[in-house]
Amino acid sequence: MPRKFLQLVGSCLLFLIVSNSIFAQKKSLAQKVDSVLHLMTLDEKIGQLNQYNDDHVATGPITLDNDKIGQIKRGQVGSLLNCVGVARTRSWQKVAMQSRLKIPLLFGQDVVHGYKTTFPIPLGEAASWDLEAIQQSARVAATEASASGLHWTFAPMVDISRDPRWGRVMEGAGEDPYLGSLIAAARVKGFQGNHLGDLNAVMACVKHFAAYGAAVGGRDYNSVDMSDRMLWETYLPPFKAALDAGAATFMNSFNDLNGVPATGNAYLQRTILKGKWGFKGFVVSDWGSIGEMINHGNVKDGYEAALSAITAGSDMDMESRNYKNSLAKLVTDKKVSIAIIDDAVRRVLLKKFELGLFDDPFKYCNEEREKAALNNPEHVRIARTVAAKSIVLLKNENNVLPLSKNTKTIAFIGPLVKAVKQNKGFWDVEVPGVDSEHIVSQWQGLQNKVGATSTILYAKGCEIEGDDKSGFAEAIEVAKQSDVVILSIGERRDMTGEAKSRANIGIPGVQEDLLKELLTTGKPVVVLINTGRPLVFNYTADHATAILYTWWLGSEAGNAIADVLFGDVNPSAKLPMSFPVSVGQIPIYYSHFNTGRPATDDKNRIYNSSYNDLSIFPKYEFGYGKSYTNFEYSKLLLSKKKIKQTESIEVSVTISNTGKYDGDEVVQLYLRDRVGSIVRPVEELKDFKKIFLKSGESKTIQFKIDKQKLSFYNQQLNWVAEPGDFDLMVGSSSRDIRLKDSFELIQ
* CA-closest candidate to residue 157, choices 205, 107, 101: 205
**Residue 354 in contact with ligand GLC, rule: CB under 6 A:** no
Q: Which is nearer to ligand GLC, 253 or 308 (CB)?
A: 253
Site for ligand GLC in 58-117 (CB under 6 A): 59-60, 81, 110
Rg (CA), the chain: 27
Torsion angle of the four alpha carbons 390, 394, 397, 399, in this order, in degrees rounded to the nearest 10: 20
In the complex with ligand GLC, which residue's Cβ is closer, 110 or 428? 110
Q: How many CA atoms lie within 13 A of 29 on its CB side?
A: 16
The torsion defined by the Cα of 321, 325, 326 and 331, in degrees rounded to 10, comes to: 120
695 in Cβ contact with 660 (< 8 Å): yes
DSSP 544-555: -SEEEE----GG
Choose, by CB under 6 A, the member of 189, 207, 352, 709 that binds ligand GLC: 207
Q: Which is nearer to ligand GLC, 29 or 216 (CB)?
A: 216
Residue list 545-604, contact with ligand GLC (CB under 6 A): none
| Active-site choice (130, 220, 256, 286) | 286
Q: Whose CA is closest to 196, among 135, 240, 146, 157? A: 146
Within a 13 Å sphere around the CA of 540, how many CA atoms are in the beta-carbon half? 29
By the rule CB under 6 A, 151 interacts with ligand GLC: no
- Tell me the closest approach of the beta carbon of residue 154 to ligand GLC, in angstroms: 3
287 binds ligand GLC (CB under 6 A): yes
Least distance from C-beta 253 to ligand GLC, angstroms?
A: 8
Q: Is 84 helix (H, G, I), strand (E, B) or coil?
A: coil
Q: What residues have CB less than 8 Å from 678, skipping those under 6 apart?
A: 229, 712, 713, 714, 715
Min dist CB 59 to ligand GLC, Å, is: 3
- Collapse the DSSP code of 659 into the 3-class scheme (helix H, G, I; strand E, B; otherwise coil) and give the result: coil
State the maximum Cα–Cα separation within the chain, in Å, rounded to a whole number.
101
Nearer to ligand GLC, 254 or 566 (CB): 254
Nearer to ligand GLC, 170 or 386 (CB): 170
Compute CA distances 394 → 172, 538, 553, whole Å. 21, 12, 17
Candidate residues 286, 292, 491, 665; the one interacting with ligand GLC per rule CB under 6 A = 286
Closer of 498 and 673 to ligand GLC (Cβ): 498
Distance, in Å, from the CA atom of 222 to the CA atom of 230, rounded to the nearest integer, reads 18
Query: Would you give the end-to-end CA distance of the chain in angstroms?
Result: 55
Residue 621: how many other CB atoms lie within 10 Å: 19
Q: Which is nearer to ligand GLC, 155 or 341 (CB)?
A: 155
User: Which parts of 17-56 interact with ligand GLC (CB under 6 A)?
Assistant: none
Omega of the bond leading into 127 within 30 degrees of 0 (cis):
no
The reply to whether 220 sits near ligand GLC by the rule CB under 6 A is no
- Write down how long the chain is: 747
Comparison of 207 and 324: residue with beta carbon closer to ligand GLC = 207
Query: ∠626-381-128 over CA atoms, to 5°?
Result: 25
Cα–Cα distance between 68 and 76 in angstroms, integer?
Answer: 9
**Among residues 60 and 356, whose Cβ is nearest to ligand GLC?**
60
Number of helices and strands in the chain (H, E): 22, 26
If binding means CB under 6 A, how many residues of this protein chain bind ligand GLC?
A: 9
Sorted by sequence, the CB contacts under 8 Å of residue 433 that are 6+ apart come out as: 85
**Among residues 176, 256, 498, 683, which is the contact residue for ligand GLC, using CB under 6 A?**
498
618 phi/psi in degrees, rounded to 5? -70, 160
Return the H-helix or E-strand segment holding 341. Answer: helix 338-354
Q: Of the two residues 251 and 519, which places its CB atom closer to ligand GLC in the complex? A: 251
Cis peptide before 524 (omega within 30 of 0): no
Query: Which of 289/732 has CB closer to ligand GLC?
Result: 289
Catalytic, 343? Answer: no
The kind and range of the H/E element at 46 are: helix 42-48
Q: How far is CA 565 from the centre of its chain?
A: 26
Q: Which residues contact 700 (CB under 8 A, 6 or more apart)?
A: 635, 652, 653, 654, 655
12 vs 216 by CB, closer to ligand GLC: 216
154 binds ligand GLC per the rule CB under 6 A: yes
Q: Could you give the 3-state DSSP secondary structure of residue 43?
A: helix
- Listing DSSP states for 376-437 in one string gives -HHHHHHHHHHHHHH-EEEEEGGG-PSPPTT-SEEEEESTTSS-SGGGG-SS----TT--GG
Question: Is residue 488 within a helix (H) or strand (E), and if so which, with residue range?
Answer: strand 484-490
Q: Which residues bind ligand GLC (CB under 6 A)?
A: 59-60, 81, 110, 154, 207, 286-287, 498
Q: Any idea which residues carry the catalytic annotation?
A: 286
